[in-house]
Structures are given as C-alpha cells and as structure tokens.
Structure 1
Amino acid sequence: MKHLPPAYFALVMATGVVSIAAWDFGLPVIAMGLFVFNLAAYVVLACLNVLRSVRYPGLFFADMTDHRLGPGFFTAVAASCILGNQCLLMARSLAAATVFLVLGTALWIGLTYTIFTALTVKRDKPPLEKGLTGAWLIAVVSTQSIAVLAAQIASEWPQPLRLELNFFALSMWLWGGMLYIWIISLIFYRYTFFAFSPDDLTPPYWINMGAMAISTLAGARLVQNTPDAPFLASLLPFLKGFTVLYWATGTWWIPMLLVLGVWRHLIRRFPLRYDPLYWGAVFPLGMYTVATKQMAVALDLPFLTPLPPVVFAAALAAWTLAFIGLASELVRKLVRPV
C-alpha cells in the first residue's frame, strides 16, 4: 500500500475493455467472469488508495505532483467510466452507470486541475526527456472515457436530458482530441530529438494508440446518437471525419510500437518481467478491438469486420499473460518459505 503505483487502476481499465469486447463477440461467460473480477479489483484498489492517502499522505500527494507519476492517477477516472459501461451493458443498470459517470467526472475535474496546476507552478521541474512519458496520455483516455459513457447513457435517458448529455459527451470528445494533439506533439518530439534507451520505452507508451482508440469509440457513439440530437446531426460529416482520423492515427501507431518493442526486448535484451505498467499496454489492444467494431457499424464499413477478432485474440492473450504475472508477483510476495 505504501508504494502502490498511482496507475494501478489500469488493471481495471484493461479488464473492463476486454470484458466489453468479449460481450460484443457473444462470449457472455468470459465477459461476466471478467466483470465480476473487475468489480472486486476496483473495490480493492479504491480502498488501498484511500488508505494510502490517509496513512501516507506525504507520499500520496508527492506522487500526484510528480511529472512521471502524477498522470497515472487519471487511470481512476477511466476505470470508473469503463466499469460504468460494463454495468450498463451487462448488468443493465442505468443507475449504476450514472453513478460511475458522476464519480468519474468528479475525479476528472479534481485531478485535472490539481495535477496540471501543480505541475505548472512547481519550481523544480525535470527536463522533458525525464519528465514526459506515455502515461501523460492517460489524461486523454480519462477524458474520452467520460465521453463514451455519457454518450452510452444518453441513448437510455429520456428527453430533454438526452440532448444535454449528448452535448456534454461531444464537448469531452473535442477536449480529449485537443489534449491528445498537445501531448503527442511533445512525445513525438521526445522520441526523435532525445536519446532513447530501453528503460525509456515503458509499457504506457502503448497509450499512444489506446488514446486514439477510445477517441474513435467516443466518435462512433456520437455518430450513432445523431437521431437523438439535432446538433449532432448537423455535425455528422465532422464527426465521421474525425472518427476515421482517430482510428487511422491509432492504427499507424501499432506497427511502430511493435517495432520498438522488438528493439527493446530482442535487440537491446531488456528483460520481460511483470510490471503493473503492462496493464497500460493491454488496455489499448482491447480498446482498439471495441472501437474498430463499433466504428465499422456506425460508419457502415463492413470491410473492417475481419480485423476486430484478430486484435481481440491478442488482447485476451495479453490480459492472460499480465494476470499470470500479477498472480506470480502476489504469490512471491505473500508466500514465505518454511
């Protein structure tokens, strides 16, 4: 608990999106099993974070104002909203989904203006190559997770609340896109103009793709909601265009990240061992699966339908390996030799 990584809610993010993908592919046993596991994981992590903030407030808030660790707190926002989506899809509980939307939005507001204000006004700041990681894009993922859940709930709410909630989802979608442009520009600059070692290529760099995947999903949801909101219908070409832009950008990142992974582990011989940050690499694969499947339906692109099953298989395999790593780590720490 004392040294709990702030980004550990990525476990819930990854499990939730793989569960949703399984549900979309008609695998209810896997989907519900992961849903139950996710509820337990969310409760455990929430309790540990609350206890850590009470028992070790110095460490907790020092992490929140740290350039490398602070953005990891945004995983709590995305985890809440993804769990809300699971509640709506699998438990058919609109009330639970709404509670998670309110909770996620409250966390997003508090964390956004606490973390970014602290990073702006603090005196001692690291150089760009030391302080910037792919984890910064979790701020984008958290923003878009609110847009996805709000758009999903909007299709269930009665009018006129449906109109306002769709506008809220649209606003969050646009803000998330703008935030991605800001941050990815710095990340690409860091990639190409600073020395890069295997240690620097941490698993959260897969969020480069995951942030675009969840932006694609939010755009597809908004396109599907156009009959319920006239202002969305008037923006339909814009919504479709940017949804494809996000999907194409996320797709571009996949080969690049695979090549960098080969360079890290095969060429530079960086050891492959369990790290909580690897959940941040599982999440993008699951999200790309769900986003591509939904975009193919929303934009009537049937030629994309063979792609999601392939990526889903990779996401499920990655989740299984990460879970085995987590279980092995827990056993190693908890079991003492006689």
Structure 2
Amino acid sequence: MTCPNSIRPDPAATSGLRPLSQLSHPREVIRQFTPNWFAATMGTGILSLTLAQVPLQIPGLRLLAEALWLFNIVLFVLFTALYTARWVFFFDEARRVFGHSTVSMFFGTIPMGMATIINGFLVFGVPHWGDAAVSIAEVMWWLDVAMSLACGVLIPFMMFTRQQHSIDQMTAVWLLPVVAAEVAASSGGLLAPHLATATAQFQVLITSYVMWAFSVPVALSILTILLLRMALHKLPHESMASSSWLALGPIGTGSLGMLVLGGDAPAIFAANGLPGVGEIANGIGLIAGVTLWGLGLWWMLMAVLITVRYLRNGIPFNLGWWGFTFPLGVYASTTLKLGSVLNLSFFSLLGTLLVLSLVALWVVVMARTVRGAYRGELFVSPCIAGLGNK
C-alpha cells in the first residue's frame, strides 16, 4: 500500500534548506495537496480543547488554549483554500482521490477538524461574543453533520464498488470516514445546552444520538476485523505506525459522546415532556461512557506497545504522524470528563498526564510538519504519483 504523503528522498542536500526545494514548481503545493493535511487541524484543535479542560490553575493556560484554537481556525481556512484550489485548477487529478484506497479515507478528517473549531466557539467564543458565538457554532454544526453523514456513507460505498482492498493491507485508516459522525455527536452534546429554545435543544440532542449510533457500531465492527487482520498478517509497514492509535479515536469519542449527551438528557427531555427518559439516558450514558473508556484503555496500552516495537527500526515521518494526536487527545478529554462526573482524582490525574503527553507530541509533530512543508517534502499526492510533476 502506498503511504499517504510520505517523505520523498532528498535529491540534493545543498538544496534542503530552500523553501519548497523538493518541488519542481511552487504550484505543486496546490496540485499535490490532499485531505491528509486536515489531520493537523484535528490534532491542534483537540489540544486546544483539552488544555482548557485541565483542572489546574496555571496562569496563561487558558489563554494559550484559546490562541491554539485561533491558530487552528487559520490552518483550517488555509487548507480549505488550498484544497478548493486543487479542485478548481487540477480537477481531473483531484477526482482520482475517490479511487485511492487510502487517501480517500482522509475526507473524514475535514468534518472532524471542523468539529474542534465548533467546540472552540462554545468554549472560547461564548465568553467573548455570547449568543453570536452560539449562532455560528449552530450553523457550522449542521454543516458538519451533513458532511459527516456524507463521508460515513459515500466513502464506504466507494470501498465496496470501485476501490481495491484486501484484509492483509487493511489499517485503522478505514475508521476515518466513519468516525466523523460520532465526533459530530459529541459536539452536538456540547452545543445543545447553549441553544435558546427547548425545541432546538431537543432536535440537536436527538440528532446527536442518531449520529452516535450511525458511527460507533460500524467503527466497532471495523475494529473487530482489524484485530483479526493483525493476528493473521501482523503489523503494517513502519510508515503506517501511527495508524495503531487511530482505533483509540472512535472508542474515546464514543465514550465522550455518551457522557456529554447523557449529561444533557435530564434537562432537555424534561423540557420536552419526557422527564423519565432523560434520567434513564443519563444513567446509560455514564455506564456506557465508563465501559467504552475501559475498552479504550486496552487499545491505548496496545498502541503504546506497538509504537515501542516500531521505534526499534525507526518510524519515517509523514502526515500520518498526526494520527498520534487526535485519538490521544479525545481519550484524554474523556478521562478528564470522567474525573469531573465521578469526582474521582484518579481520572483527573491520568487525564492531566495524557494532556501533558499530548503537548509534547504535538510540539514534535508540528515542528516536523512545518519543516517538511517548508521544504515541500510533504506535498505528495499518491493518487497522481505515477503521472510525474508536469
């Protein structure tokens, strides 16, 4: 399997420090731009949100978190402009993505990256702009829902009808288009209490439950197949090392979604004439959240062991490294949420340690990404790799 956006060999060491030295022309930035880049907005966005959630009174921490959220907005707008430009100026090459068995999966990173921005409007925007921030988040959320539904259906449909796949080449990247819906569900849980009317809150809450069910069972089915694949065919190539962490994403997000939606349920269901249902949903949400967190613990420990094994031979850097960040971040967020809901210091302490690990990881990955982007090494589209740089 071709690794998405893998680093090209350096043809001339003396040219390595010049901007875009690995590209034949600056327009290749647009021609070679792929959805993989939006994984950086997922990692940056979840870091900003988890920093704001840490139960420590550190001067400037919230300001840093907000600055990262604003930076993430800039990244998302920039990547959207570049990818739109690719479709405008290189349409025939851009549409090849739908036939690629790996790169097409990364369409799911677009709505997931947007979800972190939506959450930021609720966490950081409301104190500054009040109802205006909520209105922006609401409009963006419904757009995010539509995009997540499209990714969750159309990408698997193309897997079934036009792409070439095999079990021995399977990785957790298969999860990306499916997981977007449950990320939208968790965002809906954050959005619903901010809405002005009971009807609007109820609509968002029910839609979020549907989005959760649209995603989590399918993701768990994929994980079941992934376990069999790894048992029979062992680990993927080192260039796909970060994919071992992707499994933590749907589990952590599924847990967080149940906790957040369950917390919303009593008040919202009661306001819509269903008080008993709300209390039941709250209890189910807590039990399901804890249960999925436990499953995530198994996957996280397994991912650590797998990563250590990969490190023996070295892991080549590519944009896939952002796959280390978002799953860890959402699991850290879920852990901190459990700490606040259950009032257990164990979860709060572990969640804080996970966030600190995420900070260190983000710094490394972002530094390598900036370096690779500056040299042009990361602008590689596997969909047109055989066409040459014309």
- Give your verdict on TM over 0.5: yes
1:196 positional shift:
3.2
Asked if structure 2 preserves the Cα contact closer than 8 Å seen for 1:148 and 1:221, the reply is yes
State how many pairs are aligned. Answer: 329
For each residue in 1:108-151, what CA deviation from the matched residue of structure 2 results, as whole angstroms up to 9, or x when unmatched?
A: 233233222222222x6232222x22112223431111101111
2:194 maps to 1:151: no
1:189 counterpart = 2:218? no
Match of 1:22 in 2: 51
Q: Please say if 1:45 is aligned against 2:79.
A: yes
Q: 1:235 to 1:197 in 2, by over 3 A?
A: closer
How far is the alpha carbon of 1:200 from its aligned partner? Answer: 6.4
- The match for 1:102 is 142
Whether the aligned pair in 2 keeps the contact of 1:9 and 1:76 (CA below 8 Å) is yes
Cα distance, 1:66 vs structure 2: 2.3
Task: Provide the rounded CA distance (Å) in 1 between the counterparts of 2:345 and 2:219.
Answer: 28
Task: Output the aligned Cα RMSD.
Answer: 1.9
Cα distance between partner residues in 2 of 1:135 and 1:232:
35
Specify the SS of the correspondent of 2:156: helix
Within-5 A mapping of 1:152-301: 152-157=190-195, 158-199=197-238, 201-227=240-266, 228-229=268-269, 230=275, 231-266=277-312, 269-270=313-314, 272-301=315-344
Identify unmatched segments of 5+ residues in structure 2. 1-29, 127-132, 270-274, 378-390
Corresponding residue number in structure 1 for 2:99 = 65
Give the Å deviation of 1:300: 4.1
User: Could you list the runs of 4 or more consecutive aligned residues of structure 1 that deviate by over 6 angstroms after TM superposition?
Assistant: none
- The answer to whether structure 1 residue 127 and structure 2 residue 173 are counterparts is no
Change (3 A) 1:46 1:314: same
The two structures have a TM-score, normalised by structure 1, of: 0.91
> How many Å apart are 1:197 and its aligned residue?
4.6
8 Å contact kept, 1:137–1:207: yes
* Partner SS, residue 238 of structure 1: helix
Q: Which has the larger radius of gyration?
A: 2
Give the whole-Å Cα distance in 1 for the aligned partners of 2:260 and 2:278.
11
| Structure 1 residue ranges without an equivalent (≥5) | none
SS of residue paired to 1:235: helix
Residues 49 and 65 in structure 2, CA contact (< 8 A), matched pair in contact too: yes
Aligned-partner Cα distance in 2 for 1:19–1:108 = 22
Q: 1:270-296 CA deviation, whole Å, 9 max, x = no partner?
A: 3x3431111111111211111111122
Aligned counterparts of 1:185 and 1:233: Cα–Cα separation in 2: 32
Tell me, what secondary structure is at the counterpart of 1:4? coil
- The alpha-carbon distance between structure 1 residues 197 and 22, as it changes in their structure 2 partners (threshold 3 A), is closer
Q: Deviations over 1:241-261 (max 9, x none)?
A: 221121111111112111111
